[in-house]
Structure 1
């Protein structure tokens, strides 16, 4: 063997490396062609029964959250213009279109704060649900009050401001939140498997509603010595 041939680098790929490369490429091709790896493409409507479930859930949760806006407005009051101070306990929420200016009926700054936070959250969740409907089904849905929501609002409108309202609000809004739990649990396991954003949306509602319900139950126990309150999906108190 000449010195030149000894110094020439070996550019041939070993057979076992070629074999491994072919296997990896083949596996990757199969994996990318399976339904599991199409989950990221969630810009299409649900398939089969999942489509009707998603449309029903999204329209119902929009309507459900819409009544929460007025419920929380009654607690925190409404302001047409936001306050510059970030920590003003008297600041109200943005009013629902078509409603009159509303003074805060809650006496507790803590309840007012809870109501403002819930109001903002419900607004964002309505917007997200409307976007899902539009993107996947080309459907626009204007929020409407449900009969149960109207009854809950009416009860709070008729309740005197102050401590009496505080207790009624904690009970009514706990029941209102409870009404969204079962449908949202269903949503986590019944939506199209490609619609991961919707599953996350429903999971977020479940977790957030549970936290707020238990916060309100703690308030009922601490302030009114009602330590055995259990929320109900019905409007019966």
Structure 2
């Protein structure tokens, strides 16, 4: 649960960079609405130019905030643990790519690859949760299934956007040649074209 919380916490910053942040929210739903800023990160303007990316980023941000709260409650209720999310080093590298990407098309390309890779990295822990969690914690198993289904669908959507907008039809969210944590490992995944 701690691993998933930290993973989701890093996604908050990635989605903020895409959709931007609103320090003060209003009650009107709009396509220019931002996300709430994550603690310890500065507010930011939206860097994504594709409306599909901005929409996806807003939805992901809201969903992952709720899932963090659910997981923190499970830790507290079941184990008496109060957990404060952190950003793992490999996720800091992914965030840095997005922070340094130029707003617009360059950011859109980077976001689709980095965030698809980010989702892919959670599949193994989610599979372990679904098949290895204590059966008495069915709420956790159900939540892990929901996350697995949502993130699989999101990776598929991001791959479609890469094909439609960047002519990258063979993107894979993994990179078996280089571990993610190395200087040359790619938090962006792989495809036959250049970045």
Deviation at 1:65, TM superposition (A): 0.4
Aligned-pair RMSD on alpha carbons?
1.1
Deviations 1:49-94 (A, max 9, x none): xxxxxxxxx01000000000000000000001123321x1111100
Q: 2:26 aligned with 1:83, yes or no?
A: yes
Among 93, 99, 102, the residue aligned to 1:160 = 102
Q: Which moved more, 1:189-198 or 1:71-80?
A: 189-198
> Which residue in 1 is equivalent to 2:70?
128
Q: 2:61 aligned with 1:115, yes or no?
A: no
Greater than 2 Å deviation, 4+ residue runs = none
> Which residue in 1 is equivalent to 2:192?
none
Deviations 1:185-228 (A, max 9, x none): 11111111111111101111110100000000000000000010
Q: Which runs of structure 2 are paired with 1:24-173 in the superposition (5 Å)?
A: 58-86=1-29, 88-173=30-115
State the alpha-carbon separation in 2 of the partners of residues 222 and 196 from structure 1. Answer: 39
Q: By percentage of residues, which structure has more helix? A: 1
Deviations 1:4-28 (A, max 9, x none): xxxxxxxxxxxxxxxxxxxxxxxxx
Among 109, 113, 116, the residue aligned to 1:174 = 116
Per the normalisation by structure 1, the TM-score is 0.74
**Structure 2 unaligned spans of 5+:** 189-195
223 and 113 in structure 1: CA distance in 2 versus 1, 3 angstrom threshold: same
Among 134, 140, 159, the residue aligned to 1:198 = 140
Task: Give the aligned length.
Answer: 179
State the alpha-carbon separation in 1 of the partners of residues 145 and 40 from structure 2. Answer: 32
